[in-house]
Structure 1
Amino acid sequence: MNGKSTSQPMSVKSKEGNMLTVKDQVKDRWRAHFCELLNRPAPARRYHPSQQMWEQLDIDTSESSEEEVEKAINKLKNNKSAGTDSVTAELIKCGGQPTRARFHSLLLKIWQEEQMKKRVRTLRGIEDGWKLSDLDFADDVALIEPDEEKSAAALTRLRGAGEEVGLVVSAEKTKVMPIGETSACVKDGESTTDKVEKFNYLGSTVTPINSIDTELNIRTGIAANAFKNLRNTWRAKISLKIKMRIYTAVVIPTLLYASETWATTRKHEQRLDAFDSRCLRIMNYSEDQMVGTKAQQ
């Protein structure tokens, strides 16, 4: 959709950091990389799972009320595919008070039989009413600790647990970010972990003050690049309806990636509206069509 594709030359960095572009050299570098990565010696220690001790917090874990069930049902999103039971969110909402009462009764039964507690414990690092100490996704781990001493101890435990299953924690990629007035001189063995003012986790930029200014700058830049790559589509003689469907499927998700976690202000919303309006003008939308489009979004 965005014109002719251009082939990019294969390139990779050597261990010394030099760029390799010759085809045979690139193949040899990848071969050496995977040989080193996959042919590791067996762990010196075997992993033996033990019960983790958690710091108990004062959190209400009592039975849910019918009002909480009602709030949860109202938050269900419409126009979503049904699950294996073929029951959509719209159908549940239309059920009214009788449906809420049945759901509440069912939840109480599950809670009393402690089936729900067993499901909650499958979430890594969480138990009922206990402290969240880490966020794990694939090979990315974010440790959450209150001070330097506990952070260093957690990093040591993580490194030891990794060694037991043949995994290595990269010292070069390990960073520490202080939140608030907390200092961040965390020791990793004999060396000190690098301190950063922000870091990227699962595609989102995390900052100490939970501001989305930096994240919004990044998202608008990536979305603008995605919009620019489709410039031939915007100039093509196709209907505005098709252009809008492409825009909604490609550019908007890029712009609003992970926006569910954003704490936006009016200023942020105005920036997003300005970006949207600028793109719609390039797509030859009139002012009246833009107002109608924003009302639908």
Structure 2
Amino acid sequence: MCNDREGNLLTDKTMVAARWREHFETLLNRENVSASTNRIRISDDEAIKELKNCKAAGKDELPVELFKHGSEQLHEILHRTLLKDDIDIIGIDRRAEEKAFVPFKRETARIGPTISIIKTKYMIAGRIRGSNSEVGVEVVLGGDKFEVVEEFVYLGPLVTCDNDVTREVKRRLAAANRAFYGLRSQLKSRSLQTKTKFALYKTLIVPVALYGHETWTLREIDRRAFGVFEQYSAVKKKMASGDLV
């Protein structure tokens, strides 16, 4: 689903695909402006100029002097790095996807970032697993070959060709179990108050289990899986009694 130009909700698949095509055509076919005219040199940023020298570097271990006095080549590398992102191109068929991909590839080449052929995957949504034999193991779009997959991890959640939420639920619960056991020493510590342990559970374990849940359509088997997880960990009961194992 998406909105049209007036903000009206579109639910028809054909209209949704047409709206996305219109959006990307508008986005990618803007007036060609040289990337150099839009690029802001990091050394020209006022906030960077005000930073003091001889200070300890942060977690990236990059000293401030590198940003203040770096060469044009450094600024070019940072510009390319800062523009990296994950992109999802959707089309109703191969032709529509290629029509969206080719101008996107052209624009990324113009402004700096490159498309990672190895990391980019191609998946046909709405297919039963094992039904991609007629497509083959790879497809060609815009002269590039991409691996055909039935599932892949995109921005954290697992995306599958048959929209099997159960597989993602199992992944989330397995990750939550690892988070729970990673915090066992803190959760069973008698030095921490019960409310502190509840806070750890709610902030470091529950979000792991429910990451991306806003997009899920749960079946009864999935709901039971979450019930088993909470019952198995027995976090609330053990926290209240102070008997964590």
TM-score bucket of the superposed structures, by smaller chain = 0.5 to 0.7
| Aligned counterparts of 1:282 and 1:248: Cα–Cα separation in 2 | 11
In the TM superposition, 1:260-275 aligns within 5 A as 260-275=214-229
1:160 aligns with 2:106: yes
| Aligned counterparts of 1:228 and 1:284: Cα–Cα separation in 2 | 14
Q: Percent identity?
A: 24
RMSD: 3.4
CA contact (8 A) 1:211 1:263 kept: no
| Aligned counterparts of 1:256 and 1:211: Cα–Cα separation in 2 | 16
Q: Which residue of 2 aligns with 1:241?
A: 195
Worse overlay, 152-161 or 246-255: 152-161
| Aligned counterparts of 1:241 and 1:264: Cα–Cα separation in 2 | 30
Q: Choose which of 194, 205, 212 in structure 1 pairs with 2:158.
A: 205
CA contact (8 A) 1:223 1:251 kept: yes
CA contact (8 A) 1:198 1:206 kept: yes
Deviations 1:13-37 (A, max 9, x none): xxxxxxxxxxxxxxxxxxxxxxxxx
| Aligned counterparts of 1:209 and 1:247: Cα–Cα separation in 2 | 32
Q: Counterpart of 1:199 in 2: which secondary structure?
A: strand
Q: Counterpart of 1:154 in 2: which secondary structure?
A: helix
Q: Which residue of 1 aligns with 2:180?
A: 227
Q: Which residue of 1 aligns with 2:19?
A: 131
CA contact (8 A) 2:198 2:239 kept: no
CA contact (8 A) 2:139 2:146 kept: yes
1:175 aligns with 2:121: yes
The Cα of 1:142 is off from its aligned counterpart by 0.6
> Over alpha carbons, which structure has the higher Rg?
1
Q: Which residue of 2 aligns with 1:218?
A: 171
CA contact (8 A) 1:219 1:254 kept: yes
In the TM superposition, 1:79-98 aligns within 5 A as none
Q: Which residue of 1 aligns with 2:208?
A: 254
| Aligned counterparts of 1:224 and 1:262: Cα–Cα separation in 2 | 20
Deviations 1:211-251 (A, max 9, x none): 11221121111111111111111211133332122101110
CA contact (8 A) 1:222 1:255 kept: yes
Q: Counterpart of 2:229 in 1: which secondary structure?
A: helix
CA contact (8 A) 1:143 1:151 kept: yes
The Cα of 1:150 is off from its aligned counterpart by 2.4
| Aligned counterparts of 1:190 and 1:162: Cα–Cα separation in 2 | 15
Residue type of the alignment partner of 2:203: A
Consecutive unaligned residues of structure 1, counting only runs of 5 or more, are 1-56, 62-115, 121-127, 288-297
CA contact (8 A) 1:152 1:186 kept: no
Q: Which residue of 1 aligns with 2:62?
A: none
Worse overlay, 180-189 or 207-216: 180-189
| Aligned counterparts of 2:144 and 2:203: Cα–Cα separation in 1 | 46
Q: Normalized per residue, which structure has more helix? A: 2
The Cα of 1:186 is off from its aligned counterpart by 2.9
Residue type of the alignment partner of 1:179: A
Q: Counterpart of 2:163 in 1: which secondary structure?
A: coil
The Cα of 1:281 is off from its aligned counterpart by 5.1
Q: Choose which of 134, 147, 163 in structure 2 pairs with 1:194.
A: 147
The Cα of 1:252 is off from its aligned counterpart by 0.4
**Distance change >3 Å, CA 60–CA 278, structure 1 → 2:** closer
1:277 aligns with 2:231: yes
Worse overlay, 158-167 or 240-249: 240-249
How many pairs align? 167
In the TM superposition, 1:286-297 aligns within 5 A as none
The Cα of 1:159 is off from its aligned counterpart by 0.8
**Distance change >3 Å, CA 286–CA 257, structure 1 → 2:** same
The Cα of 1:174 is off from its aligned counterpart by 1.4
| Aligned counterparts of 1:240 and 1:274: Cα–Cα separation in 2 | 22
